[in-house]
Structure 1
């Protein structure tokens, strides 16, 4: 399957479940104090380096975009699903949302102070991920911050693992491997948060958040 085929299939799958997804995850940060704390740190770091915009890539119905806005950031959302974008606009009329692909962002070079990619690369086949990370690096300003979240593989020797996802095929990543892919694009890891699954969680794997910055030119 080509990159365009993957994008089309994922877009159709999320269009079909967008309304249900928006209802189910409207309080996506409830009961997640560690994640809220890291988002606050991300926002503080971005604000300290200027007043540049922040892109929430794979924004879905815009819950996290609105949260970033509430933290004082000039946040806007991008998602491959037109239905998700329409729901985000309806729920957040004062914010900007666009339909777009992470592999070809309609954003100028080096203009963003930050990028949030929360579970938005999970449907990306391993061979396509470097191009998406390169695109993120392209749009970030020197010193700009990336916060990327993804599910981890079962062990350090497994770079990626496919798993059954409710919507579409998804992939888990070795944190060290993904950090290495970031370094290849000039994005340097500065912090890592690993959240262990609770016994009652449906999926028994770690959630990982990497905070990185773009090297100065």
Structure 2
């Protein structure tokens, strides 16, 4: 693992540890728009059609998406880089499994996952580390298993925050187009199924990109 990968993992972890409580309070459901929820329902249906196998919610945060997938009958567990987020998720959803980990080095056997969900978590992965993460997706997925990614998209490709919720942080965001994300997934050996952009709603400052792919 390169020094740059170690650096972004360290700063992302410490930043979310600092803001975990306020983040969970500010975004209690995390999915205010019905279109977002409908895409997750479609993802759950694709997982079920491909046969029973556990799904990883990568960047699971306080666990609201993990819990939603569970309510849809999907066998799911959450993985997050931040120990503080994992603690909150376990407290809020004690019937589900959450553990600390990184999507750039998943502690999972090959070809065992029935799907991967990564909502607003790849935004913290720098460009040079994205191929490693998507290679891990390909390695751990079963044939035919789907991947659903969601991310902020827009004109500026990089943003850095030094403060959030009154806490000092060191957090980088990379905004990518659905086409750019789809290209990276294809390079990793995954097959594009669909991509779309949802325009900003309410207090949202940026459009939302979605990419659905699968392992062939």
Fold match (TM-score > 0.5): yes
Equivalent residue, structure 2, for 1:188: 191
- Equivalences for residues 23-102 of structure 1 within 5 A: 23-30=25-32, 32-102=33-103
Equivalent residue, structure 1, for 2:157: 161
Structure 2: gaps (5+ residues)? none
The answer to whether the Cα contact below 8 Å between 2:194 and 2:213 also exists between their aligned partners in 1 is yes
Q: By how many angstroms is 1:164 displaced?
A: 3.7
Q: By how many angstroms is 1:2 displaced?
A: 1.3
What CA deviation, in whole Å up to 9, does each residue of 1:84-106 have, x standing for no partner?
A: 00111111111000100111111
Structure 2 residue matching 1:190: 3-state secondary structure: strand
Structure 2 residue matching 1:141: 3-state secondary structure: coil
Equivalent residue, structure 2, for 1:157: none
Structure 2 residue matching 1:116: 3-state secondary structure: strand
What is the Cα-based RMSD across aligned positions, in Å?
Answer: 1.4
Q: By how many angstroms is 1:54 displaced?
A: 0.4
Equivalent residue, structure 1, for 2:176: 173
CA distance in structure 2 between the partners assigned to 1:202 and 1:25 by the alignment: 12
The answer to whether the Cα contact below 8 Å between 2:178 and 2:197 also exists between their aligned partners in 1 is no
Distance 1:143 1:202, change over 3 A: closer
CA distance in structure 1 between the partners assigned to 2:20 and 2:203 by the alignment: 23
Q: By how many angstroms is 1:177 displaced?
A: 1.5
Equivalent residue, structure 2, for 1:141: 142
State the structure with bigger RCO (CA 8 A, min sep 6), 1 or 2: 2
CA distance in structure 2 between the partners assigned to 1:213 and 1:96 by the alignment: 24
Q: By how many angstroms is 1:163 displaced?
A: 1.7
Equivalent residue, structure 1, for 2:111: 110
Q: By how many angstroms is 1:174 displaced?
A: 2.1
Q: By how many angstroms is 1:79 displaced?
A: 0.3
Structure 2 residue matching 1:122: 3-state secondary structure: helix
CA distance in structure 1 between the partners assigned to 2:185 and 2:200 by the alignment: 25
Q: By how many angstroms is 1:197 displaced?
A: 1.5
Structure 2 residue matching 1:142: 3-state secondary structure: coil
What CA deviation, in whole Å up to 9, does each residue of 1:24-51 have, x standing for no partner?
A: 1112223x11011110000001001111
Return structure 1 stretches of 4+ with deviation > 3 angstroms. 164-167
Say how many residue pairs are matched.
207
